[in-house]
């Protein structure tokens, strides 16, 4: 990270703190009070960043976490379970993630080159599509390629990513434009957009409906969300050498970042506090957990994904559109099967070790997470999105893993008896998550994107789903900072 980026990040982090201390220089004594000034629900990146900003301003904060661990949807598989610290959630740290980079430096977490999860190295993947095994270089002319237009045939198997750059109507550099309401005509389904481009249902099924990064099908994802993600990347990276060098990852796994952040809190995070009710009153907020214990403070920041929050009894909303957002905002289904190879199956058939399939295993990627042996395959992960993930969620975990391994053997006989199942994980089954990350369905950005993060009296909202500029990890950090500034504006 450059000195200028660090300086800017320190300034951004310090604005809320400086304002609080200038207006209330004696407020540092608040830490000696028995009760917190602010409750924060959720010990993911959003909650921890909010808590640290509030604590830096001299106020006392208490963080409640529903699960038994720190990190939220930033989750690294234990090394004793899967070698190489593969990520279950939160894979790459973009070079523009200023808040994440600053937190890693502040709390002593070493960052190195990214360890990819769902994207293979160049020439390290084979497409198992339409019953055929196809190398990327053979894809443009292969009979399994369903695309009719020559330009589409020449591209990678998953075409949707090209549209978010090529056809993007959002102004470069205007990273909040997607929520202004000026682009509502693009708040349509990806399926409708690609149909207007002349693609057939069969082409769309492969171009956007298979191995979806967001959503479940091409029908339930807003094209405007795709444009927002594309506008962020092209605005920051195209023609800009500042962020060159590729994504980063924390040594020992990205979960080490929120764990280190939590250690910076004066009051330890209270884990295992599954929230059941939030009572917003005129003078305070009272939170009840599953054990029957209650916590109260002048303000509360809730960072729970809406898929979890909709199961909490909440007595106040900022308005009907926020209530609808909490009830309806969707989260991407993600199911993972982590495997270790018993032998080098790729040497048996001469094909690359990673597989992009249009079937049950989704993207089965060979991971190379040993820093001392960068070419060694340490494990494989079948990363499964959308309807396939929902299908597997209806099975017992072992039965689901067996089905994935059996399908791999059918698609690629060299993998028969090649895998040991090490970990089966579903974000959809998690009580505190209910899915991997938020996505916007057609029409939702226009309907309630600007209202869902509004404060409901003394209740404030954060989490990656409330971010405006960024997505993923940096979006979570952005939202926590914004919520902290809102709270400090009322506390001072």
Backbone angles phi, psi at 414, to 5 degrees: -65, -20
pLDDT tens, position by position, 249-297: 999 999 999 999 999 999 999 999 999 999 999 999 999 999 999 999 9
pLDDT at 22: 42
Q: Which tokens is 416 given?
A: 């028969």
Of 6-10, 113-117, 327-331, 390-394, least confident by mean pLDDT is 6-10
Q: How confident is the model at residue 3 (pLDDT cuts 50, 70, 90)?
A: very low
Residue with tokens 């789903």: 465
- Quote the CA–CA distance of 369 and 114 in Å, as a whole number: 9
pLDDT of residue 182 exceeding 90, the answer is yes
* Local structure of residue 195 (DSSP, 8 states): H
Buried b (16+ CB within 10 A) or exposed e, 257-273: bbbbbbeebeeebebeb
Backbone angles phi, psi at 388, to 5 degrees: -65, -40
Q: How confident is the model at residue 34 (pLDDT cuts 50, 70, 90)?
A: low
Q: Which tokens is 108 given?
A: 């002593």
Contact 328, 444 (CB under 8 A): yes
pLDDT at 160: 74
pLDDT of residue 430 exceeding 80, the answer is yes
- Quote the CA–CA distance of 333 and 229 in Å, as a whole number: 19
Q: Which tokens is 104 given?
A: 């890693």
Q: Mention every residue, 6+ apart, whose C-beta is less than 8 A from residue 26.
A: none
- Quote the CA–CA distance of 206 and 193 in Å, as a whole number: 15
pLDDT tens, position by position, 392-412: 999 999 999 999 999 999 999
Pairing of β 38-41 and β 61-64: parallel
Q: How far apart are the first and last CA of the chain?
A: 33
Closest among 263, 269, 289, 242 to 109, alpha carbons compared: 263
- Quote the CA–CA distance of 9 and 102 in Å, as a whole number: 7
Of 184-188, 243-247, 416-420, 431-435, least confident by mean pLDDT is 243-247
Above pLDDT 70, what percent of the chain?
A: 93
Q: How confident is the model at residue 30 (pLDDT cuts 50, 70, 90)?
A: very low
Answer with the residue of higher pLDDT: 35 or 192.
192
Q: Which tokens is 273 given?
A: 């506090």
Query: What's the order of all strands across the beta sheet hosting 363-367?
Result: 132-134, 125-129, 354-357, 363-367, 379-385, 334-341, 419-426
pLDDT at 490: 94
Contact 168, 227 (CB under 8 A): yes
pLDDT at 45: 98
pLDDT at 121: 77
Angle at 96 between CA 136 and CA 70, to 5 degrees: 95
pLDDT of residue 16 exceeding 60, the answer is no
Q: Which tokens is 239 given?
A: 């023609």
- Quote the CA–CA distance of 16 and 11 in Å, as a whole number: 9
pLDDT of residue 18 exceeding 70, the answer is no
pLDDT tens, position by position, 299-340: 999 999 999 999 999 999 999 999 999 999 999 999 999 999
> Mean pLDDT across the stretch 138-145?
94
pLDDT at 13: 43
If you average pLDDT over every residue of the chain, what do you get? Answer: 91
* Count of residues in the chain: 492
Closest among 435, 465, 389 to 228, alpha carbons compared: 465
Half-sphere CA count of 133, side-chain side, radius 13 A: 17
Helix axes 472-491, 45-56, angle to 10 degrees: 30
pLDDT of residue 17 exceeding 50, the answer is no
pLDDT tens, position by position, 38-58: 999 999 999 999 999 999 999
pLDDT at 167: 85
pLDDT of residue 20 exceeding 50, the answer is no
Answer with the residue of higher pLDDT: 127 or 16.
127
pLDDT tens, position by position, 192-251: 999 999 999 999 999 898 998 899 999 999 999 999 999 999 998 888 878 878 889 999
Contact 470, 344 (CB under 8 A): no
Q: Report CA-CA distances (Å) from 382 to 80, 160, 319.
A: 19, 21, 41
Contact 351, 366 (CB under 8 A): no
- Quote the CA–CA distance of 388 and 380 in Å, as a whole number: 18
- Quote the CA–CA distance of 441 and 7 in Å, as a whole number: 38
Q: How confident is the model at residue 122 (pLDDT cuts 50, 70, 90)?
A: confident
Q: How confident is the model at residue 441 (pLDDT cuts 50, 70, 90)?
A: very high
pLDDT of residue 365 exceeding 70, the answer is yes
Q: Mention every residue, 6+ apart, whose C-beta is less than 8 A from residue 23.
A: 492
Q: Mention every residue, 6+ apart, whose C-beta is less than 8 A from residue 140.
A: 153, 154
Instruction: Give the SS3 label for residue 301.
Output: strand
Residue with tokens 């089954």: 429
- Quote the CA–CA distance of 53 and 15 in Å, as a whole number: 9
Of 82-86, 235-239, 379-383, 457-461, least confident by mean pLDDT is 235-239
Q: Mention every residue, 6+ apart, whose C-beta is less than 8 A from residue 225.
A: 178, 214, 439, 440, 445
pLDDT at 15: 47
Closest among 415, 473, 358 to 87, alpha carbons compared: 473
């Amino acid at each position: 990270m450059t000195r200028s980026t660090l300086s800017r990040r320190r300034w951004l982090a310090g604005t809320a703190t400086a304002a609080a201390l200038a207006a209330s220089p004696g407020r540092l004594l608040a830490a000696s009070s028995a009760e917190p000034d602010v409750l924060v629900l959720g010990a993911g990146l959003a909650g921890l960043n909010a808590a640290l900003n509030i604590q830096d301003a001299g106020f006392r904060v208490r963080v409640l976490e529903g699960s038994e661990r720190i990190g939220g949807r930033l989750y690294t598989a234990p090394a004793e379970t899967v070698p190489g610290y593969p990520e279950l959630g939160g894979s790459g740290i973009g070079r523009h993630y200023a808040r994440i980079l600053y937190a890693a430096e502040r709390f002593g977490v070493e960052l190195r080159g990214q360890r990819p999860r769902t994207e293979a190295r160049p020439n390290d993947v084979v497409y198992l599509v339409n019953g055929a095994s196809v190398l990327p270089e053979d894809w443009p002319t292969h009979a399994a390629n369903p695309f009719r237009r020559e330009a589409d045939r020449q591209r990678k198997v998953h075409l949707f990513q090209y549209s978010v750059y090529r056809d993007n109507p959002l102004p470069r550099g205007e990273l909040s434009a997607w929520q202004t309401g000026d682009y509502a005509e693009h708040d349509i389904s990806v399926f409708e957009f690609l149909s207007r481009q002349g693609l057939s249902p069969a082409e769309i099924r492969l171009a956007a409906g298979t191995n979806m990064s967001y959503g479940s099908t091409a029908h339930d994802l807003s094209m405007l969300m795709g444009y927002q993600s594309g506008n962020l990347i092209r605005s920051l990276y195209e023609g800009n050498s500042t962020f060159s060098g590729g994504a980063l990852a924390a040594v020992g796994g990205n979960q080490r970042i929120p764990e280190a952040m939590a250690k910076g809190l004066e009051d330890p995070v209270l884990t295992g506090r599954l929230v059941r009710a939030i009572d917003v009153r005129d003078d305070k907020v009272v939170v009840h957990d599953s054990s029957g214990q209650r916590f109260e403070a002048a303000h509360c920041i809730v960072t729970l994904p809406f898929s979890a929050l909709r199961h909490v009894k909440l007595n106040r909303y900022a308005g009907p559109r926020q209530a609808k957002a909490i009830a309806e905002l969707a989260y991407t289904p993600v199911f993972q099967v982590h495997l270790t190879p018993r032998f080098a199956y790729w040497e048996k058939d001469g094909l690359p070790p990673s597989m992009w399939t249009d079937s049950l295993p989704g993207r089965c990627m060979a991971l190379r997470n040993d820093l001392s042996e960068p070419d060694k395959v340490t494990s494989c992960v079948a990363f499964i999105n959308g309807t396939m993930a929902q299908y597997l969620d209806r099975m017992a975990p072992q039965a689901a893993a067996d089905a994935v391994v059996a399908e791999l053997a059918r698609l690629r006989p060299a993998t028969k008896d090649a895998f040991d199942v090490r970990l089966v994980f579903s974000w959809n089954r998690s009580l505190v998550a209910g899915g991997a990350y938020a996505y916007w369905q057609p029409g939702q950005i226009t309907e309630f994107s600007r209202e869902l993060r509004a404060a409901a009296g003394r209740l404030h909202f954060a989490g990656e789903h409330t971010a405006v500029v960024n997505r993923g990890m940096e979006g979570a950090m952005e939202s926590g900072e914004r919520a902290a500034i809102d709270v400090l504006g009322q506390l001072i």
